[in-house]
Amino acid sequence: MSRDFKNKQRITDLIIQGHSNAVIASRLGLTIRGVKFHVTKIFKAHNVTSRAQLIAKNSENYNLKLMQIKIESLTKELESCRLELKNTKDRLYSVSLPMGTK
């Protein structure tokens, strides 16, 4: 990963956390002018014109990721329940039949 990409990601994260350009510059050891340059590029890349839009857009993405994780978790849980049900049916079926028949 390039340093420029890492800076843009860190700056994006700090913007989302509500930090000013001055705070971002201080935290990342950049100039305010450098931060402003990255912010402009970030806005363009995300097709937004303000910090609020960037936060909202990333919030939507975050919520989508959370939903995907929840769906994956529920899918695994459902599969586990299906397997448990199948095993229970198999045990009940084998108990209900006379020995030696299936």
Residue with tokens 């994260």: 13
pLDDT tens by residue, 26-63: 999 999 999 999 999 999 999 999 999 998 888 777 77
The Cα 50–Cα 42 span in angstroms is 10
This prediction has a pTM of 0.58
